[in-house]
Amino acid sequence: MNLIEAFYGGRFYSIDFMNNAASVINKWVSRNTDGLITDLVSDLDSMVKLVNVIYFIGKWETIFNPVYTTLQLFRTSDGLIEFPLKEIMTKLNMTDMFEARKANLSELAEHLHVNDCIQKVVLDIDEEGTVAAAATTMSCGLLCSRPQPIDFKVDRPFLSMIRDDATGLDLFLGTVTDMST
């Protein structure tokens, strides 16, 4: 996380997923893409949501003369292109990050893996230059493995104790001598 902050100016935020988090994320994305991408996240179905954006404005060194350009038919949905990155990455054999037991995202958190990854892109090229914005979100989950069962037999009287590990204090101490009551 320190590398992302140091080299890319990235920031990490903690938000309440139970209280309009999708709206908070979408407003951040919109603000950082100058309003070109406004609805990156629709639901928060994961433990962790990683979001990044890039916004670019570039002017041509020599502007094109509009007399020599014509408008041609090009179809997209509202000028916005959405890439299902998980599908693309899987086809490129980049699958470990999506498999809970193989993913290694330990620089972010232990036992983290990617559930899904979406990227939305807006690209506007004209005679004067280019305006581009991209926003990517990764939905991440935690590997929750079941502990192996322990064979624990209670077939004779025993001593039971509950101890606070932080303080070392015994909170409860008792004996069980009869299981019939």
pLDDT, tens digit, 9 for 90 and up, residues 108-137: 777 888 888 888 888 888 888 889 999 999
- Give the residue numbers spanning the domain of 49: 2-142
User: Is 66 a domain residue?
Assistant: yes
User: Is 117 a domain residue?
Assistant: yes
CA distance linking residue 143 with residue 146, whole number of Å: 10
Q: Which amino acid is at 130?
A: T
User: Is 150 a domain residue?
Assistant: no
User: Is 89 a domain residue?
Assistant: yes
Overall average pLDDT of the 92-115 stretch: 84
User: Is 90 a domain residue?
Assistant: yes
Q: What is the pLDDT of residues 143-158, one digit of tens each?
A: 665 555 667 677 777 7
User: Is 11 a domain residue?
Assistant: yes
User: Is 120 a domain residue?
Assistant: yes
CA distance linking residue 158 with residue 138, whole number of Å: 50
Domain tally for the chain? 1
User: Is 126 a domain residue?
Assistant: yes
CA–CA distances in Å: residue 32 to residues 29, 38, 79, 152: 5, 10, 18, 56
Q: What are the φ/ψ torsions at residue 175 (nearest 5 degrees)?
A: -120, 145
Residue 98 has pLDDT above 80, yes or no: yes
Residue 114, H or E segment? strand 112-125
CATH of the domain at 80: 3.30.497.10
Task: Count other Cβ atoms within 10 Å, centred on residue 86.
Answer: 19
CA distance linking residue 73 with residue 130, whole number of Å: 19
